[in-house]
């Protein structure tokens, strides 16, 4: 309770300081909104319908739906794609990252907001955090309710995200994810609920800050390497090596590993049971995948939160496996793809999972 109160005080102090900064600001920053689709751009046949189509509304219509947005920043939009985020691809990631790097390298853009479906938003945000080379703020946002829904929260999420992207306080914080008045570090956040507006949670490390009708404050920094200090880049790349995720369960069959290797996977992430575990036979298949095909297997977890520790129930070196640390399977896949694309080898791989 005491700790909570202290955190709240620090947050309120930060909010107050930021608000002062805002009123003293002269001239508006330039914020570019890159739209990719999702429910925030979705529409339904009625305001109370639970079914809708994602990625229907264009970026200008979305901007026009946000009262006061033009008082926060000079806002302009660009459509990168217009898809439900289950259809976000590596090609779109690379296009998005290249465009962000290009925009932020100029003096004309001070911050970026990416509108995105919530299903894979944590993946896109984490990917961008590793390959965007700028200290300027990049914020991803979305909504759980479509733009035509009763109490649609997309406009306020967009308003808040523009405020973050326009603020000096958000510089050097890496890629952030903001929905529901919260600011998350891309590395730490997960979608934890299928429909609720409070779906985004940073279960291990907590939120980085808060934002309330455009007034914002931070009370911690990102904890892993990102942005300009990241060794990863997508410059000149058009694809990434295939990495698949296999969900583990009781009585899991080891031939799943062989099937993915045969299908062309260069790396495999196991959404393991508990602390990154899998059946003994699957573990042996993982060892064989590396010995025979050089396929690296990363142990993550199907549990919603928690670390996957190296050498926990067996020695990882004995099976050539890597522990994902606190990266969930989808994010572990991204780090493994980028690492393999840069020719990283097994001995240095574990360190990368601790670093990024």
Min dist. Cβ of residue 187 to ligand GLU (A): 20
Min dist. Cβ of residue 194 to ligand GLU (A): 9
Give the residue numbers marked as catalytic.
39
- With H, G, I as helix, E, B as strand and everything else as coil, classify residue 87: helix
* Cα gap 356→352, rounded to integer Å: 6
Min dist. Cβ of residue 123 to ligand GLU (A): 11
Q: Does 222 bind ligand GLU (CB under 6 A)?
A: no
Min dist. Cβ of residue 38 to ligand GLU (A): 4
Name which of residues 132 to 171 contact ligand GLU (CB under 6 A).
Answer: 142, 144
Q: Report the C-alpha dihedral over residues 149, 151, 154, 155, rounded to 10 degrees.
A: 120
Given a contact cutoff of 8 angstroms between Cβ atoms, the answer to whether 234 and 255 are in contact is no
- With H, G, I as helix, E, B as strand and everything else as coil, classify residue 213: coil
E-assigned strands of 10-162?
A: 30-35, 74-79, 111-115, 138-141
Q: Does 189 bind ligand GLU (CB under 6 A)?
A: no
Name which of residues 100 to 129 contact ligand GLU (CB under 6 A).
Answer: 117-119
Closer to ligand GLU by CB, 195 or 238: give it.
195
Min dist. Cβ of residue 186 to ligand GLU (A): 16
Site residue total, ligand GLU (CB under 6 A): 11
Q: Does 85 bind ligand GLU (CB under 6 A)?
A: yes
Give the closest residue to 144 by CA, choosing from 54, 35, 56: 54
Q: What residues have CB less than 8 Å from 103, skipping those under 6 apart?
A: 32, 109, 112
Q: How many CB atoms lie within 10 A of CB 161?
A: 31
Q: Report the C-alpha dihedral over residues 220, 225, 230, 234, rounded to 10 degrees.
A: -80
Closer to ligand GLU by CB, 53 or 303: give it.
53
Among the residue ranges 9-17, 82-90, 123-131, 151-159, the one whose residues contact ligand GLU (CB under 6 A): 82-90
* Cα gap 80→99, rounded to integer Å: 9
Q: Does 86 bind ligand GLU (CB under 6 A)?
A: yes
Closer to ligand GLU by CB, 121 or 134: give it.
121
Among the residue ranges 74-82, 83-91, 157-165, 215-223, the one whose residues contact ligand GLU (CB under 6 A): 83-91
Among 38, 209, 267, 276, binds ligand GLU (CB under 6 A): 38
Closer to ligand GLU by CB, 122 or 244: give it.
122
- With H, G, I as helix, E, B as strand and everything else as coil, classify residue 89: coil
Q: Which residues bind ligand GLU (CB under 6 A)?
A: 38-39, 54, 84-86, 117-119, 142, 144
């Amino acid at each position: 309770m005491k700790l909570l109160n202290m955190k709240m005080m620090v947050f309120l102090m930060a909010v107050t300081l930021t608000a002062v900064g805002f009123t003293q600001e002269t001239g508006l920053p330039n914020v570019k909104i890159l739209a990719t689709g999702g429910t925030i751009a979705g529409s339904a046949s009625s305001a109370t319908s639970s079914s809708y189509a994602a990625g229907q509304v264009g970026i200008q219509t979305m901007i026009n739906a946000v009262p006061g947005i033009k008082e926060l920043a000079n806002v302009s939009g660009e459509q990168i794609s217009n898809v439900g985020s289950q259809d976000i691809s590596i090609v779109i990631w690379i296009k998005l990252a290249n465009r962000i790097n290009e925009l932020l390298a100029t003096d004309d853009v001070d911050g970026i907001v990416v509108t995105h479906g919530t299903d894979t938003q944590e993946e896109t945000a984490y990917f961008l955090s590793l390959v965007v080379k700028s200290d300027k703020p990049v914020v991803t946002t979305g909504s759980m309710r479509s733009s035509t829904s009763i109490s649609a929260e997309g406009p306020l999420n967009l308003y808040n995200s523009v405020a973050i992207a326009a603020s000096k306080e958000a510089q050097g914080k890496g890629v952030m994810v903001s929905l529901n008045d919260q600011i998350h570090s891309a590395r730490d956040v997960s979608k934890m609920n299928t429909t609720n507006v409070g779906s985004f949670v940073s279960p291990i490390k907590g939120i980085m800050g808060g934002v309330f009708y455009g007034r914002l404050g931070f009370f911690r920094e990102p904890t892993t390497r990102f942005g300009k200090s990241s060794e990863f880049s997508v410059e000149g790349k058009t694809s990434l090596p295939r990495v698949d995720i296999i969900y583990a369960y009781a009585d899991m069959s080891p031939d799943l590993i062989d099937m993915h290797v045969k299908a062309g996977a260069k790396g495999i992430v196991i959404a393991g049971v508990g602390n990154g575990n899998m059946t003994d036979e699957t573990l042996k298949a993982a060892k064989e995948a590396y010995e025979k095909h050089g396929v690296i297997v990363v142990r993550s977890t199907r549990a919603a939160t928690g670390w996957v520790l190296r050498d926990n129930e067996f020695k990882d070196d004995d099976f050539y496996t890597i522990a994902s640390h606190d990266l969930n399977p989808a994010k572990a896949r991204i780090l493994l793809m980028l690492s393999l694309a840069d020719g990283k080898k097994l001995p240095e791989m574990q360190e990368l999972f601790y670093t990024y």
